[in-house]
Structure 1
C-alpha cells in the first residue's frame, strides 16, 4: 500500500515528482491555484491567430543533461530551435550574446577573432582584479562602451537598481564570443515541444495514480492529512509570509497584435535606459515550423513584485539572504514536508535543472521510505 502524497503546484517540479512516485505505487494528489497545469511555462493556442503563446513569457528548452533530455522527449516531440536574440541599443540592432559580429558592427571594424580578442582586452578595465559587483564584472570583461550599450540600461530596468548593487555572479553566465556564433545558448540539446509545454506536462500527469485538482489552494494547516507534502510554492508563502516577504521581480506583459512579421525575430532586447520595456517577444517565431498570418507580441517590463503579483526572479541580495536563512532554518524543522523548485528554494532555475532536481527529490523520497529514514525538507541547499 503506497503513501498518500500531496504535490502543491502542477508545474514541472510537482509533475515530475508526482509521476515518479505514482509509478512507484504511491497515491498522488496535485493541487494548483491556477486554472491550468505547467506553471509559468504554460502555453496555449491564441484563438484568433493560432499562434502558440508562452503565456508567462518565453521558455526555451536547453540542456547538457542527457537524462533530462531523454525524459522530456518521453512526453513531447521536441523540434529544433535556436535562440537568436537581438538587441536594439543606441539606434542600431545587434546580435546577442556579444559575438564577433556584434563587436565589429559596434566599433565599425572588420577584425578577425584574435584581433577582436586583443581589442576587447585593451578595452577591459585592468584595474579591476577582483570584481565584486555586476558593473565591475562587466567593465573587467568588456570595458565601458559595450557595458553601457548592452548591460547597464537593461540591467537597471530588469532589476530595478544600479548594477553597482548587484553581485558579480549574475554576469558570469553571459558569454562573449570571438566568432560569429549567435546561438544564445551553448548546450548540446536545444528545442521546443511541438505541441507546447502544457501538453507535455499534461502527458506527464496522465497516470492512474495521479489526481489533479486545479483552482484549488492548499492550507498548510492541512498538511497532516497527507503522509508527505511536496511544496513548490513560495517558501515564505508556506508560513503566510509571517517573517516578511522574500524579494522578487515580477513582469508586466502588454499584448499587441500585427499582421505578417512584426520584428523579424523571437526576442528583441532594448538596452537603452529610456525605453521602458526590457524586450519585445514575437511568439510565432518560437514555433518556426508553423506558419501564421497574424502575430501575437508582448512588451515586457520588469518591476518590484507586490503581494498580488506573480514572482519571477528572486532578488537574493543581502537582506533577502538573511530572511531566507530564517525561513530555511524553520523549514528544516518540518516533519513530512519537502520544499522544491524555483519558489520553494528561492533560486533562479532553468527548466532542465528544475526537472533534474525533481527527479532527484523523487528518488530521495523512495530511498528514504525503503530505508525507513525521514525525508529531508530540502534535497538541495537553498542558500
Structure 2
C-alpha cells in the first residue's frame, strides 16, 4: 500500500517506520525544511551549543517499551529537569517542595510540619470541589504560594484569568514535602545525546520511506495515496471550514553570552510585570558537553495567529464545542487517520505521542495487510 504521511514529527516518523518495516511504501511530506517538528534541535554555528529551536523538550516516561524504542534510535544520557523561579528578588526551586516552602516562609520545617502548615494556615479548605485553576491552586497551596509562583505565570502563558482555566491543568504539577526538586517523577528521564532531530532522522532512515521537506500538503497528493496519516492541525485538513481551533503560540527572543548566563536550564518569571514567562539556557540541556559561550531564549506566550506555529491547544468551552464538530468530520473521513498533538487537538508529551503512534499501527496492518514480515 502507498501511505502518505503529513508531518515528519514524532507521530509521522514512528508510524512511517513501522509501516515501512512491514513492507508498505511511505511518502512523508512536511512544510518545514527539517524533520522532528517542534522537537527539532540544531547546533548553533556561533557557539556550538545544541539548541532546542522551538523551545526545550525533555524526555520522561514510565513506559518501558517507549523508552526502549527511543533508545533504539539514539543514545539517551541522564538528564533531570530542575526548574528555578525568580520571585520577589529571590530564586526558588520548582516544583514547590520542602525547600521552596521553608525558604519562602522563612522556616525550617520538617515534612510533617510543612504538610500541616500548608493545610491549616495556607490552603483554602472551604473549597471542596475545585472547578477552576485558581480554586485548585488555593485549595492546593494557598494564596501566598499561588500568587508567587502560579498566578502571574499562568496569566502570561494562557492569556486569560486563572479563573477561566480548568482545575485539571494544575493537577499535573506536584507539591512535595521533601527536598526532591526533580520536576518529573517518571522512572526514565533523559536527553538524546545528539538531539531529537538526529533521532528522528534515524527513525526515518529506511529504504521504504521517501521524505519531502519544504513540501506543503495538497489534497491532490491524497488522491495518489491509499491512505493518509495526518499529523497536522485537525482544522487545517478541512480548510478551517468551521472556524479555527484556538492555540497559544510562543515567541523566542534569542541571545548569546559568554560563560554561564543563569546557572540552570530553566528560570521561570512568575511576576506579571515581567513580560516573558521564562528564560531557557540551552547548553544546560546537554550537561555532558562543555561550551565557552551560551545560547538563551526569552519566552513569550500569545494567541496563535493564522501564520504562527501552534504550540498549546486552549481547549476551553468554545474550542471544545468546535472540536466536537471537527471530530465528527474526521470520523466521516474513511481514508485518513488523524494523529498526534495537532491532529487530535490535545497537549501530548513526547512519550504519549510515541505510544499512541505505536498503538495505531496494528490496526492499520490488520486493515491493509502486511506485505512482508518486519
For CA contacts below 8 A with separation 6 or more, give which structure has more relative contact order. 2
Q: How does 1:141-152 map to 2 (within 5 A)?
A: 141-152=140-151
Q: Which residue of 1 aligns with 2:277?
A: 278
1:30 aligns with 2:55: no
**SS in structure 1 of the partner of residue 177 of structure 2:** coil
Partners in 1 of 2:219 and 2:317 — Cα distance? 28
Deviation at 1:221, TM superposition (A): 4.2
Partners in 1 of 2:88 and 2:367 — Cα distance? 57
Deviation at 1:368, TM superposition (A): 2.3
Partners in 2 of 1:212 and 1:366 — Cα distance? 21
Q: Which residue of 2 aligns with 1:320?
A: 319
Q: Which residue of 2 aligns with 1:64?
A: 62
Deviations 1:253-280 (A, max 9, x none): 0001110000000000001011000000
Identify the match of residue 86 of structure 1 among 81, 84, 87: 84
Q: Which residue of 1 aligns with 2:74?
A: 76
Q: How does 1:43-122 map to 2 (within 5 A)?
A: 43-122=41-120
Matched residues, number? 369
Q: Which residue of 2 aligns with 1:14?
A: 12
Q: Which residue of 1 aligns with 2:2?
A: 4
Q: Which residue of 1 aligns with 2:252?
A: 253
Deviation at 1:369, TM superposition (A): 2.6
Partners in 2 of 1:285 and 1:308 — Cα distance? 31
Partners in 2 of 1:59 and 1:84 — Cα distance? 13
Partners in 2 of 1:56 and 1:322 — Cα distance? 29
Partners in 1 of 2:70 and 2:241 — Cα distance? 37
Partners in 1 of 2:78 and 2:302 — Cα distance? 33
Deviation at 1:220, TM superposition (A): 2.4
Partners in 1 of 2:265 and 2:299 — Cα distance? 13
Deviation at 1:13, TM superposition (A): 0.2
Partners in 2 of 1:217 and 1:267 — Cα distance? 34
**SS in structure 2 of the partner of residue 75 of structure 1:** coil
Q: Which residue of 2 aligns with 1:291?
A: 290
Deviations 1:328-362 (A, max 9, x none): 00111112100000000000000000000000111
**SS in structure 2 of the partner of residue 195 of structure 1:** coil
Deviation at 1:370, TM superposition (A): 4.1
Partners in 2 of 1:6 and 1:198 — Cα distance? 21
Deviation at 1:224, TM superposition (A): 2.3
Deviations 1:272-325 (A, max 9, x none): 011000000000000000000000000000000000000000000000000000
Q: Which residue of 1 aligns with 2:353?
A: 354
Q: Which residue of 1 aligns with 2:362?
A: 363
Structure 2: gaps of 5 or more residues = none
- Regions of 4+ moved over 6 Å: none
Partners in 2 of 1:66 and 1:225 — Cα distance? 37
Partners in 1 of 2:21 and 2:131 — Cα distance? 47
Deviations 1:154-203 (A, max 9, x none): 00000000000000010011000000000000000000000000000000
CA RMSD of aligned residues (A): 0.8
**SS in structure 2 of the partner of residue 297 of structure 1:** strand
Q: Which residue of 2 aligns with 1:206?
A: 205
Deviation at 1:89, TM superposition (A): 1.1
Q: Which residue of 1 aligns with 2:342?
A: 343
Length-normalised TM-score, structure 2: 0.98
Deviation at 1:222, TM superposition (A): 3.4
Q: How does 1:236-251 map to 2 (within 5 A)?
A: 236-251=235-250
Structure 1: gaps of 5 or more residues = 372-383
Deviations 1:208-251 (A, max 9, x none): 10000000011124322100000000000001111100000000
1:307 aligns with 2:300: no
